[in-house]
A and B are shown apart, each in its own frame.
Chain A
Amino acid sequence: MLIQPSINILVVENDITILQRCRELLLDEGHNVRTAECIEEALDIIQKHPGDVDIMLLSLELPGWAHMTLIETLQKARREILIMTMSANCGEEAIEAMHAGAYDCIRKTFTADRFRIKINRAIEAFRLRRQLDLLTRQRQAEFTRVRQDANLYAILQSFSDALVVTDWQTNIVLFNPAAASLFDLTEETALAHPVSVSIKSDELLSFFIRAIKSDSSLAMLMADEEPVVKVGNKNLRVYVFSVKNEGGTVIGAVALFHDVTKVSAMDKLRDDFLSMVSHELKAPLSSLLMQISVILDGLAGDLSPKQTDLLGKAKEKTKGMITLVNDILDYRRIQEGKSIQKIESLDLAKILQRTVELMRLSAEEKGIKMTCEIAEGLPSFNGDRGGLEVIFVNLISNAIKYTQQGGHVNVSLNKAGKDIRFKVVDTGIGIPPEDIDRVFEKFYRIKTDETRSISGSGLGLSIVKGIVEAHNSTIFMESPPGQGTTFIVSLPVEE
């Protein structure tokens, strides 16, 4: 059993009651305690007794001091001192202090137990940090030897992915050549310095901080899809892991950067290809649609009823193809987060009115009654015009598609609380309860006798959902058996 040397704690607090209470609790625990009622006094103690302050318990409510600057300066000058903060409610200022380098924050309304737990954790961290510093120093001293005999090191050196290891304060302790060339790191400028000095990306820095500060397990951290970060002209997929000691305490972070620039370039190529193909498909389809339409309208001579019937079906199939091509493109766009092209102030009533006018024809052709109720004086909505049109068109055309002759589709737009609510109610064949959870999945289509003759890509609703989510909006549906289907989209209006 190791005998731990006693810990020297400096309490800085201008509220005498709290100061005394801290002092008593710490003395009870067997620690050496010094107190200061103002920061000048504290700095004086630190100066006069170097090495006699291990942990500093600092009130964040001392008058007349910029605490963050103070913490940062202290951390730079006397890195070995672990700073714990105390504040009334451990709010924003406590988080800021932690960003500046403080280890944790204690609420001033502490109980004796809570105080002891927090202090003991800080002591544990202080000891680990001291150990880590020791190890880092040893490592630097033995650098040459380590380089020769450590197989692990050789492996890291030959790793094609960039690798950066930091301690719990995000100071770099190790990096490999791939990282050196990627971020321009040198031993002199990077080693033992914070990551932020060498890697000028707040996004990257936030990953390190998250890995270190969060107590979450590795699995939790990676549950977010692996982020891709742009550094210079390279796209990097970033994997950050927290490093824990045997006791489970986080002592640092390892980051792995995998270059996916080429993969991204392939994605781009595929997209260009898709767009090109879509153009080559759309151009002939638009001729076909126009040709069939003018023949059906009798502009190229009279038609027999049978010819009209067959051509009508051909036109429907053509339109199905067009929808499919558009859906595939829309879907790609949403996957890439490009579903929002341009945010502008929109008059939803006008857009919906126009959509309904366009759709009314196909409802009437099918013998479906379509009604539309739009509330007066709706506020404008900030969104992407194309996206909103897609939401309206897809939900209304679905309602028409899945409603039989003689049925009814009602479309409405009104204000509900702070939202504009778009609602489509049909008297159609509905959605079987077992399928309700899956309708927003891509390529999912309900397969029953009734739906067999209805064409579609199975992408429409997943596209709608993508656009709805990109607008911070929600979509909701219900389909009680035998009572048709209702879709409701709630679009929040910004104040």
Chain B
Amino acid sequence: MKKVLLVDDDVDFCEATKLLLDSKGYDVVLAHDGKAGLEKVRAEKPDLVILDVMMPEMNGYDVCVVLKADADLKKIPVVLLTAVDQAFFKTTYTRAMGLMTEADDYIAKPVEPGELVKRVEDLLSKK
């Protein structure tokens, strides 16, 4: 069973998304802020990380940077998930653009459940 770590501070979103991914046969682990997310990656060694961008403690970009700089962890595919609009604070966006090349995929919130499942499947089959 493939293990998926979902890091998002929106607990409701996490709950519903866990139900969705559970039903597709994934083992879903949750974390609700960036720091906790990073610890969970180290502890659980998931097959895929879905990472919200706007989070307390540590934002998604920073978590992604740390993951991709870690020799042991950088092979784990990371999907950035965000409702941040591209026009939102240009500097943030410029950084995001740079990191998008480091992250393996990028999904704009809100996302259709079917679309989310498909992206997850695609990334895991690529691995």
Contact = CB atoms under 8 A, between A and B. Distances in A.
Contact of A300 (B19, B85, B111): B19
Contacts of B113: 289-290, 293-294, 297
A290 B87 contact: no
24 contacts: A271-B87, A275-B84, A275-B87, A275-B89, A279-B83, A282-B110, A283-B83, A283-B109, A287-B10, A289-B111, A290-B113, A291-B15, A291-B16, A293-B16, A293-B112, A294-B17, A294-B20, A294-B113, A297-B23, A299-B22, A329-B85, A329-B87, A332-B87, A361-B114
A322 interface: yes
A329 B13 CA distance: 23
B115 interface: yes
A358 interface: yes
A299 B19 contact: yes
A392 to B, nearest CB: 15
Contacts of B17: 290, 294
A20 interface: no
A358 B114 CA distance: 9
B16 A294 contact: yes
Given A286-B109, A290-B113, A279 B85 contact: yes
Nearest to B115: A358
Interface in B72-110: 83-89, 109-110
B83 A282 contact: yes
Contacts of B23: 294, 297, 299
Nearest to A282: B83
Interface of B: 10, 12-13, 15-17, 19-20, 22-23, 54, 83-89, 109-115
A436 interface: no
Given A278-B88, A290-B17, 4 more contacts: A287-B12, A289-B111, A290-B113, A358-B115
B112 A358 contact: yes
A286 B20 contact: no
A85 to B, nearest CB: 48
Nearest to B52: A283
A279 B88 contact: yes
Interface string A268-287: 00011011101100111111
A391 to B, nearest CB: 17
A283 B85 contact: no
Nearest to A296: B113
A279 B111 contact: no
Contacts of B10: 283-284, 286-287
B104 to A, nearest CB: 17
Contacts of A279: 54, 83-85, 88
Chain A CB within 10 Å, residue with most, of B15, B19, B114: B19
B89 A294 contact: no
A386 B112 CA distance: 17
A313 interface: no
A300 B10 CA distance: 19
Nearest to A329: B85
A317 interface: no
Contacts of B89: 272, 275
A281 B89 CA distance: 17
A32 to B, nearest CB: 66
Contact of A294 (B19, B54, B109): B19
B114 A275 contact: no
A113 to B, nearest CB: 60
Nearest to A283: B83
Interface string A249-278: 000000000000000000000011011101
A286 B83 CA distance: 8
A278 B20 contact: no
Contact of B13 (A290, A333, A341, A386): A290
B88 A276 contact: yes
B20 A297 contact: yes
A121 interface: no
Nearest to B82: A279
User: Which 6 pairs show the lowest CB-CB distances between chains A and B?
Assistant: A286-B110, A282-B83, A275-B88, A290-B16, A287-B13, A286-B109
A244 interface: no
